[in-house]
């Protein structure tokens, strides 16, 4: 006999083709991040939100914006930050080689947890960084419970 017969499995060929296509896209375009700032859109304000024992803090970098041009509001537990950046000068001589600075209106809204007191919020703006602090309601703050020594109970004598 010249050769042995093998059974053809079309599904194994599809699986190997999928693997080859995945490898091609990974090498050709690189792995795409799970979520990028471009996905959010050019008018979306990027923020950091973190929680401490006493407050919820929201930070946003808004360079080139006058603090009085930023509108911050809370309605129905929705925090909204919006404003507009204007281009101060346009390059008239030459061509842009790369243009990443964004100008125009921006906005970001996020739901605040019910554990914060929005009425007592504070805002600070320094060096282009907006910092909002929302104090936690007293009942929502973490508490430490200490174990206190109790009096030693004397066992009755067995005489």
User: What pLDDT, in 10s, does the model give residues 81-136?
Assistant: 999 887 766 666 677 777 667 778 888 999 999 999 999 999 999 998 999 999 99
Which residue ranges form the domains of the chain, and what is each CATH number?
37-87+102-140 (2.60.40.790)
Predicted local distance difference test score (pLDDT) of residue 158: 55
Angstrom distance (rounded) from CA 107 to CA 60: 11
Q: What is the pTM of this model?
A: 0.59
DSSP, residue by residue, 74-100:
EETTEEEEEEEE--S----SS--S---
Predicted local distance difference test score (pLDDT) of residue 38: 44
User: Shortest CA distance to 60 belongs to which of 121, 108, 7, 6?
Assistant: 108
């Amino acid at each position: 006999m010249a050769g042995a017969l093998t059974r053809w499995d079309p599904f194994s060929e599809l699986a190997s083709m999928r693997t080859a296509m995945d490898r091609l896209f990974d090498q050709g375009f690189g792995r795409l991040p799970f979520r990028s700032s471009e996905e959010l859109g050019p008018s979306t304000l990027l923020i950091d939100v973190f929680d401490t024992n006493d407050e919820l803090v929201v930070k946003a970098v808004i360079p080139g914006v006058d603090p009085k041009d930023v509108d911050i509001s809370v309605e129905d537990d929705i925090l909204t930050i919006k404003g507009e950046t204007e281009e101060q000068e346009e390059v008239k001589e030459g061509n842009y080689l790369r243009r990443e600075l964004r100008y125009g209106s921006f906005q970001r809204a996020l739901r605040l947890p019910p554990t914060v007191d929005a009425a007592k919020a504070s805002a600070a703006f320094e060096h282009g960084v907006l910092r909002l602090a929302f104090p936690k309601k007293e009942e929502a703050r973490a508490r430490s419970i200490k174990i206190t020594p109790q009096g030693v109970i004397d066992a009755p004598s067995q005489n």
